[in-house]
Amino acid sequence: MNHKIERTSIARAVGLIGLAAAASALPAVAAVPVTDAMIANDQNTPNDVLTVGMGFSGQRFSTSTQINSDTVVDLVPAWSFSMGGEKQRGQETQALVHDGKIFITGSYSRLWALDQKTGAKLWSYEHRLPEGIVPCCDVVNRGAALYDNLVIFGTLDAKLVALDQTTGKVVWTETIADFKGGYSYTAAPLIVKGKLITGVSGGEFGVVGRVEARDAKTGKMVWTRPTVEGHMGYLNGKENGVSGKTNATWPGDLWKTGGAATWLGCTYGADTNQIYCGTGNPAPWNAFTRPGDNLYSTSTVAINADTGKIEWSYQGTPNDHWDFDGVNEFISFDMKKDGKTVKAGAKADRNGFFYVLNRTDGKLLSASPFVTKQTWASGVDLKTGRPIESNNRPGNPGSGEKGSAVFAAPSFLGGKNWMPMAYSGQTGLFYVPANEWGMDIWNEPITYKKGAAYLGAGFTIKPLYDDYIGALRAMDPATGKVVWEYKNPAPLWGGVMTTAGNLVFTGTPEGFLKAFDAKTGKELWKFQTGSGVVGQPTTWEMDGEQYIGVASGWGGAVPLWGGEVAKKVKDISQGGSFWVFKLHKSGKATVAQN
């Protein structure tokens, strides 16, 4: 009770401060509105970071060159911000930078606006979470979206909150879904032509995956597109056709709780007008309950941004039996091969294959392993697009009994999990944060119960090698070959960024933010942040200097689900801070003009 009163009075005080500031200097205080044109050009404007993914395609490539493979040795901290409190869990956010402010999200559905120059806190928002939320894999948040004067993010109780960038006041809130049914939200929303694009989390609870588009200024629904075959889509409140064909790839009634959660959000192809979203496992995990391909689970789905209809889909793991969520980001890029330029897109799937597709029609161009061990499939048939499966499914549990176990690799935490890769058009390489691990997995009988875990499986994750689990790998999409790799003892769980300065940045659970030579993989710089880095690095320029920002704070799915791997990393310190770096010797190197 006390706590509640305290919070209310703090909220009032913050509100008053906001009003006072607005009254004294109104024109200076109002935020510069973020427009569709600015968002569309985000990758080419180094003075701001308007989107998680650093542009529509999610390449996480910066044109800035002041910090480069020659100067990075002089990178030092500029300031650090503590997220505070006892709520020190995984910090997976990517910062957004606009009009003098930096916006970061944090564990337990929190958001801060910081002064871009000093790192001082301007305002904060702490979402009041109800009892009974069921986030499967830590209380993380992966970033916000900016539009007009708003900063918008999703919460663990499956809501969307839009705040005024200047005052931090709530402008609108919308409910994505009922958290009591197992829904939550952790991904960063995507803005496409004034629409706010979101998905749902909750694939382990038998939710129905879907992608939704709302008016970003008001939160009003425009269209919704289910990613489980058989469910009806809607456009402007009217029926807009079912996804696929009811019961075509799903037996009986299981499609009604079919999973395929879109829990990692989407990217956008400006030239195709398609929104690319990955989908998670079909529910439950025990595949004997649901014969068929179970569309559109474990797939990449291309949805027309205006009509909300699926234009193509590609499924990596038909009738998935290993929780190989295919949610991983699909990154558009122009691939040069045999003297031609192909409109391509790539995805490093949890199942261990690096897929290159034609992004206009979803045709499979290549599928190459990016991990050393795949027990479940020996390859992918390029004609049919289907995996060539090995005999690696766990046994049927029958009635009331546990089924026989198998050892499978990758583990269900994936050859790559949520942490986004990066693409450099300069080197032509993708930088993939991979992990080498397997699992014992078996089936158990299961029935659906609203809001309860809906797996029908048991498992133990195990490392494959003694000396490393994580591996940052540079992949050539034209050949499918690994060009270089960096091995890390703990599993990699943070995002990757690459820059025109010939650099690749990523963090480690051991606490380091590291920089590598983009061409050779040589480690050039590292800094100890005090806790594990599972955030997404980004970069911007201000007053002629280039800055790098990353969140530090160990957590995520590994400590909760990692089995024998979790034991290996149990001594990593918790944390919760945002670090900003710049060159010690500033002003000498030139700043790139795009």
> Under DSSP, is residue 195 helix (H, G, I), strand (E, B) or coil?
strand
Question: Cβ of residue 456: shortest distance to Ca ion, in angstroms?
Answer: 13
Stretch that binds Ca ion, among 35-43, 167-175, 415-423, 456-464 (CB under 5 A): 35-43
> Under DSSP, is residue 457 helix (H, G, I), strand (E, B) or coil?
strand
Strands (E), 90-231: 96-98, 101-106, 110-115, 121-126, 145-147, 150-154, 159-164, 170-175, 190-192, 195-198, 210-215, 221-226
Which strand ranges, in their side-by-side order, compose the sheet holding 310-315?
Answer: 266-269, 274-278, 299-304, 310-315
Residue 320 binds Ca ion, judged by CB under 5 A: no
Q: Which is nearer to Ca ion, 42 or 174 (CB)?
A: 42
**Could you say which of 148, 157, 323, 325 is catalytic?**
323
CA distances for 346 relative to 30, 339, 430, 585, angstroms: 39, 19, 9, 38
Question: Cβ of residue 170: shortest distance to Ca ion, in angstroms?
Answer: 26
Stretch that binds Ca ion, among 42-50, 379-387, 494-502, 512-520 (CB under 5 A): 42-50
> Under DSSP, is residue 272 helix (H, G, I), strand (E, B) or coil?
coil
Q: Residue 99 and residue 108: Cα distance in Å, rounded?
A: 26
Number of residues that bind Ca ion (CB under 5 A): 8
Place of tokens 């659970």: 509
Residue 436 binds Ca ion, judged by CB under 5 A: no
Residue 45 binds Ca ion, judged by CB under 5 A: yes
Beta strand pairing call for 75-82 and 577-583: antiparallel
Beta strand pairing call for 61-62 and 496-499: parallel
- HEC profile of 278-321: EECCECCCCHHHCCCCCCCCCEEEEEECCCCCEEEEEECCCCCC
Q: Which is nearer to Ca ion, 59 or 529 (CB)?
A: 59
Residue 362 binds Ca ion, judged by CB under 5 A: no
Residue 203 binds Ca ion, judged by CB under 5 A: yes
Strands (E), 37-86: 61-62, 75-82
DSSP state of 258: -
Vertex 521 angle, CA 520 and 526, to 5° = 135
323 is catalytic: yes
Stretch that binds Ca ion, among 170-178, 198-206, 338-346, 562-570 (CB under 5 A): 198-206
Hey, what amino acid is at 356?
V
Question: Cβ of residue 559: shortest distance to Ca ion, in angstroms?
Answer: 17
Among 174, 212, 325, 349, binds Ca ion (CB under 5 A): 325
Question: Cβ of residue 327: shortest distance to Ca ion, in angstroms?
Answer: 8
Q: Which is nearer to Ca ion, 50 or 474 (CB)?
A: 50
Residue list 273-292, contact with Ca ion (CB under 5 A):
280-281
Residue list 48-77, contact with Ca ion (CB under 5 A):
48
CA distances for 15 relative to 8, 18, 492, angstroms: 10, 5, 40
Residue 494 binds Ca ion, judged by CB under 5 A: no
Among 138, 157, 229, 323, binds Ca ion (CB under 5 A): 323
Stretch that binds Ca ion, among 193-201, 240-248, 320-328, 545-553 (CB under 5 A): 320-328
Question: Cβ of residue 453: shortest distance to Ca ion, in angstroms?
Answer: 11
Nearest-CB residue for Ca ion:
45
Residue 42 binds Ca ion, judged by CB under 5 A: yes
Question: Cβ of residue 478: shortest distance to Ca ion, in angstroms?
Answer: 28
Positions in the binding site for Ca ion (CB under 5 A): 42, 45, 48, 203, 280-281, 323, 325
Q: Which residues are known to be catalytic? A: 323
